[in-house]
Structure 1
Amino acid sequence: MDKQIKLVKKAMRGNEKAFEKLVENESEKLYKTAFLYMRNQEDALDVLQETIYKAYISIEQIKQPEFFTTWLTKILIRISYDFLRKKKKVILEESFLSTQLTEQSYDIEGKLDLLHAISKLNNNHQTVIILFYYHDMPIRCIGETLNMPENTVKTNLRRAKIDLRRLLGGMEYEQTGHQ
Structure 2
Amino acid sequence: MKDSVYTQLTEYITGNQNKFYRLAYSYLNNKEAALDAVQNAVCKALENYPSLRNPDYLKTWFYRVLVNECLAYRKKYRRELPLEEEFIKEDFYYQKEFDAGYELYDKVNKLPDKYKTVILLHYYEDMTLKEIADITGINLSTVKTRLYAGIRQLQKSLKGELI
Bin for the TM-score computed over the shorter chain? 0.7 to 0.9
RMSD, aligned CA: 2.3
Number of residue pairs matched? 159
Distance 1:163 1:11 in 2: 44
State the 4+ residue runs in structure 1 displaced beyond 4 angstroms.
100-105
Q: Give the letter for the 2:70 counterpart.
A: S
Distance 2:107 2:136 in 1: 22
Q: Relative to structure 1, is the Cα distance of residues 102 and 76 closer, same or farther in structure 2, using a 3 angstrom cutoff?
A: closer
Equivalent position of 2:41 in the other structure = 51
Equivalent position of 1:122 in the other structure = 112
Distance 2:15 2:90 in 1: 24
Structure 2, unaligned runs of 5 or more: none
Equivalent position of 2:80 in the other structure = 89
Is residue 92–residue 116 contact of structure 1 (8 Å, CA) maintained in 2?
Answer: no
Larger Rg: 1
Q: Per-residue deviation at 1:148? A: 2.0
Distance 1:23 1:99 in 2: 23
Is residue 9–residue 58 contact of structure 2 (8 Å, CA) maintained in 1?
Answer: no
- Is residue 38 from structure 1 mapped to residue 28 from structure 2 by the alignment? yes
Q: Give the letter for the 2:120 counterpart.
A: I
Equivalent position of 2:136 in the other structure = 146
Distance 1:18 1:142 in 2: 21
Is residue 122–residue 128 contact of structure 2 (8 Å, CA) maintained in 1?
Answer: yes
1:97-176 equivalent positions in 2, closer than 5 A: 97-100=88-91, 101-103=94-96, 106-107=99-100, 111=102, 113-168=103-158, 169=160
Query: Per chain length, whose mean CA-contact separation is higher, i.e. which structure has more relative contact order (CA < 8 Å, sep 6+)?
Result: 2
- Is residue 78 from structure 1 mapped to residue 71 from structure 2 by the alignment? no
Structure 1, unaligned runs of 5 or more: 1-5, 173-179
Per-residue Cα deviation, 1:137-164 (whole angstroms, up to 9, x for no partner) = 1111111222222221111001101112
Q: Relative to structure 1, is the Cα distance of residues 32 and 134 closer, same or farther in structure 2, using a 3 angstrom cutoff?
A: same
Is residue 50–residue 79 contact of structure 1 (8 Å, CA) maintained in 2?
Answer: yes
Q: Which is further off, 141-150 or 127-136? A: 141-150
Q: Per-residue deviation at 1:171? A: 6.9
Equivalent position of 2:3 in the other structure = 10
Distance 2:161 2:131 in 1: 29
Q: Relative to structure 1, is the Cα distance of residues 153 and 18 closer, same or farther in structure 2, using a 3 angstrom cutoff?
A: closer
Q: Per-residue deviation at 1:126? A: 0.8
Q: Which is further off, 56-65 or 145-154? A: 145-154
